[in-house]
Amino acid sequence: MNNTPLLIGIDGGATKVSARTIQQTSDGFSLDSNQSEKTYSTFPSFDPEFSPVDISIQIEEMNSTISLTESEINQGQAFIHAFAETILELNSGKEIIIGIGMPGLKTPDGRGIAAMANGPRMPKFCDELEKSLSDKGIQLAKPIHRLGSDADYCGMGEEFAESGLFKSVENAYYLGGGTGAADALKLDGKLVPLDETKSWLLKSWEMTNNDNISLERYASAGGIQSIYSQYSGKSIPSLNRDKIFPNIILDMADQGNKAAVETFSDVSFNLAELLFERIETCFSGWTNRLGFINPNREALSSQHPFIGTTLERIIIGQRLGTLLVSSEGLGVFWEPLVYHLTHLINESDHLNSTAKSSYLNNDRLNPSLIHISTLRDAPALGAGIDAVFGIDDY
C-alpha cells in the first residue's frame, strides 16, 4: 500500500475556499482532477451583513492584543468550517499534508490572520482548523506550516509545476489577475518575493496611474467590471445579476459596444504602463512614472541588486491571462496592449539600445516576451509546494 501522504493545496479567497490534490513527479508538481470548493455563506455562522473592524484599529492591535468582536468570531467559524469540509471532501484515508494561501496580514508565527480588510481576523486560524480536522478523524502528517500569500504561491507554482513558465528562464515577471492582482518575480534564477523588494519595487495594488487609480483595478476581474460599470452607467449588482463579467464585456467590445470598447481601451493602456514599469525598473531602477496608493510612503530607491536586468518573459495568468489570450485577433485588448507597450519601450530614455533590442525586433515587440499561463489554480499548487519545501527554501 502506498503510504505517501496526500498533498492538498488550498486557496482561501474572499468568498470561497478552493482545494486541489497535488501529485509530485520527477518533472515537478501537478494538480490532479480531485478538487473541492465551498462558499463561506453556506455555513450557519456566516453573516452576509458582516462589517470588518476598522482597518486602522486592526493595524494598531496587531502590535498589542487582538480583541476579536463576537461577529468576527462567528464569521471566522464559517471560514474554519468551510476549510474543514473542503479538506474532508478530498480525504482518502491517508495522512494529509496541507498548504494554505490566504489574504490578509499574518500573525508573527504565520499561522493566523492578524488583519484583513474585508473579512474577520482569525489569529488562531491554523490551531482551530487543525482541531476541527482532528475532531473529524483526519490525521495530518505534520502541522500546517503557515498561511502564505497567493502572489508568492503563484510564483512557486510557475517555478515548480510541470508546466510552469518560470522554470526555463532566469529573469521573468508574473502578473495574475483574479479577485485581485498577484505579482511574482524571478531574477538571477531565483524567486524574489515582492515583500523583499519594498525599497525599490512595489506591488501592483500599491501603485497608481495619473488619475490616482490603483493599477490593480486594470488587472482584476472585479476592477474591469467596475470600469465597465462607470462607462455603461449600470450598477455592479445589476451586472452581477445579469452575469455580465469581463469575458462577456470582451464579447461586447468585439461587437462594438461603446462602453465595453472604452473599458478595454483603459485596461490595455494601463496594463501596458504596469508591464513597462516592471521592465524599466528591473533594468534601470525606479523612475517615478507612477504614483503611490499611500501618498506618505517614502520614495523608492533607484538602485537595487539587479540593475541591468532584462526580462526574458512576462507571464500573464489566472482570469486575466484567459481574457487576454481570448482577445488575440479581435483588435481589442491584446493588440492595443502590445501597441502601447512597444511604444513605451521604443521611447524610453532609461533603456539602452541593447535592452531595447532584447524586447523588440525591428521596432515590434518580441513575440516570445508575453506568455499566457495555463496554471489557473497556481495559488493552490504553490501552497501545496510550500507545504512540502517551505517557502524559505525556494
Is 156 within the bounds of a domain? no
Grid-cell match 504602463, residue found: 273
- Give residue 1's pLDDT: 45
Is 47 within the bounds of a domain? yes
Judge if 84 and 185 occupy the same domain: no
Judge if 209 and 351 occupy the same domain: yes
- Give residue 282's pLDDT: 98
Is 1 within the bounds of a domain? no
- Give residue 296's pLDDT: 84
Helix, strand, coil share (%) of the chain residues, nearest 5: 40, 20, 40
Task: Return averaged pLDDT per consecutive 10 residues of the chain, 394 residues in all.
Answer: 84 89 85 92 93 88 91 96 96 93 90 89 97 96 92 91 91 91 95 93 93 93 94 94 96 98 98 98 96 88 97 96 96 97 97 97 94 88 88 49
Buried/exposed code over 122-150 (b: 16+ C-beta within 10 A; e: otherwise): bbbbbebbbebbeeeebebeeebbbbbbb
Judge if 362 and 258 occupy the same domain: yes
Is 243 within the bounds of a domain? yes
Helix (H, G, I), strand (E, B) or coil at 78: helix
pTM for this one?
Answer: 0.88
Judge if 383 and 284 occupy the same domain: no
How many angstroms separate the CA atoms of 259 and 227, rounded?
9
Q: Are 159 and 186 in contact (CB under 8 A)?
A: yes
- Give residue 394's pLDDT: 44
- Give residue 29's pLDDT: 86
- Give residue 392's pLDDT: 52
- Give residue 116's pLDDT: 86
pLDDT, tens digit, 9 for 90 and up, residues 96-108: 999 999 888 899 9
No. of H helices and E strands in the chain?
A: 12, 16
Buried/exposed code over 55-92 (b: 16+ C-beta within 10 A; e: otherwise): eeebeebbeeebebeebbebbbbbbbbbbbbbbeebbe
Is 162 within the bounds of a domain? no
Is 232 within the bounds of a domain? yes
Is 158 within the bounds of a domain? no
- Give residue 24's pLDDT: 84
Judge if 133 and 254 occupy the same domain: no
Judge if 133 and 217 occupy the same domain: no
212: number of Cβ within 10 Å? 10
Judge if 253 and 334 occupy the same domain: yes
Is 161 within the bounds of a domain? no
Judge if 180 and 89 occupy the same domain: no
CATH number of the domain residue 293 falls in: 3.30.420.40
Quote the domain boundaries for residue 306: 168-374
Judge if 328 and 389 occupy the same domain: no
**Number of domains forming the structure of the chain:** 2
Judge if 249 and 233 occupy the same domain: yes
Judge if 93 and 207 occupy the same domain: no
Judge if 82 and 131 occupy the same domain: yes
